[in-house]
Amino acid sequence: MSDEVKVDRRALEALVCPVTQTRLSYDPDRQELISKAAGLAFPIRGGIPIMLIDEARETR
């Protein structure tokens, strides 16, 4: 049984960075949404994007 949860890419495309309101890119290997403008990566847990700034990791 796989622990991987299928992520709806179309739904992810509708999301924007909560800091900059810019487009996010999806990293399927790390299960994250990346905001290049803000330098943040938002985790996806159980197929649900966690768009809280406190939960994001810095990418710079």
Q: Summarize the confidence of residues 7-21 as an average pLDDT.
A: 90
User: What is the reported pTM?
Assistant: 0.87
DSSP 53: G
The pLDDT tens digits of the residues spanning 22-39 come to 999 999 999 999 999 999
Beta bridge partners of 33: 26, 42
CATH architecture of 9-58: Single Sheet (2.20)
**For residue 13, pLDDT beyond 90:** no
User: What are the residue boundaries of the structural domains of the chain, listed by start?
Assistant: 9-58
**Which of 16 and 13 is assigned the larger pLDDT?**
16
- E-strand ranges in the chain read 25-27, 32-35, 40-45, 48-49, 57-58
The pLDDT tens digits of the residues spanning 42-60 come to 999 999 999 999 999 999 8
pLDDT at 12: 85
